[in-house]
Amino acid sequence: MTCDARPAALYRCRHLTRYAYGEDVPVSHHRLHLTPRPHPRQSVHRASVTVHPAAAVQADHVDHFGNITTYVAVQEPHRTLTITAECEVAVMAPPPLAPLATPGWEDVRDRIATLSGPEAAAEVVQFAFDSTLVRASPELADYAAPSFAAGRPVADAALDLMRRIHADFVFDPAATTVATPLAVALANRRGVCQDFAHVLVGCLRAHGLPARYVSGYLRTLPPPGQPRLIGADVSHAWAAVWCGDNGWLDLCPTNGRPADQDFITLAWGRDYDDVSPVRGVILSGTGHHLSVEVDVEPVVPS
């Protein structure tokens, strides 16, 4: 999908991650997904990642999904670790959506079998299959079924499913952790944005549709007269469904709305496991405390 003609929204983002360890850690290695990825609706004007204590090794790579990842190795004893990611990003609005004009969901599902070549596999096909944290199940298929009547346009069905998840599930940060299985979140109807995105991705895949997990941020302060979005003070997550020639449609079940200019994309993959903001290995260190602060500031052009 291409963007519409509205001006881009410009944001300045700061993501601060602090680890405090119970004892000195002599060496730590981390892989970070903290640099926004460019895509047709998003351009990155600047981005930086700094680590304290300073990393002995720091290098950027592009992963299998096209995301920018940063590898850091801290090789001096440290009891605290601070990772600061800053960026300035321009986000363009998605095009006007005509859900009823998209092809039937079965047609999109069946088209997967006709796609060939490495680009199709990387961009679409791999997102139709099970992943580490999201596996299709009868429970997911049953929950999604009311949205997928025969012949229903794919975007219309996906939007209906998104709205049902928003209505049926309770946002409860105490209900789950990053290790909570998808089946538990589905059964309890409680969780956070990661859980809701996984449920939406799993439901779509259970009906044979390619769906990806997207990590990013939300603008902290909404425009005048609009409600504040859930998840605006932390990293956020949503889902995207492939709609054939119409491309990818980003959907936020946490807030019950398609992703628009309020959403800044960091990375996408098959599930959270592919794009966790910070993943690492430490030597020693008895326990740790983690704190995260996210600030997204709209920039008014001068």
Q: Domain spanning 99-274 has what CATH number?
A: 3.10.620.30
Average pLDDT over residues 248-274: 97
Write the class of the CATH domain 9-92+276-298. Answer: mainly beta
56: phi > 0 → left, psi -120 to 50 → alpha, else beta; which? alpha
pLDDT band, residue 175 (cuts 50/70/90): very high
pLDDT band, residue 101 (cuts 50/70/90): very high
Domain spans of the chain? 9-92+276-298, 99-274
Where are the extended beta strands (E) located within the chain? 9-25, 28-32, 42-52, 57-62, 68-74, 78-91, 170-171, 190-191, 211-218, 236-242, 248-252, 257-258, 263-269, 278-282, 288-298
Mean pLDDT of the chain: 93
Full-model pTM: 0.93
- pLDDT 10s digits, 36-50: 999 999 999 999 999
What is the predicted pLDDT for the residue at 57? 96
User: Omega before 53 cis (within 30°)?
Assistant: yes
Please check the confidence at residue 68 and state whether its pLDDT lies above 70.
Answer: yes
| One fold for 9-92+276-298 and 99-274 | no
What is the predicted pLDDT for the residue at 99? 97
Looking at per-residue pLDDT, the higher value among 4 and 291 belongs to 291
- pLDDT 10s digits, 231-257: 667 799 999 999 999 999 999 999 999
- pLDDT 10s digits, 140-151: 999 999 999 999
Q: Nearest-CA neighbor of 140 among 104, 183, 171? A: 183
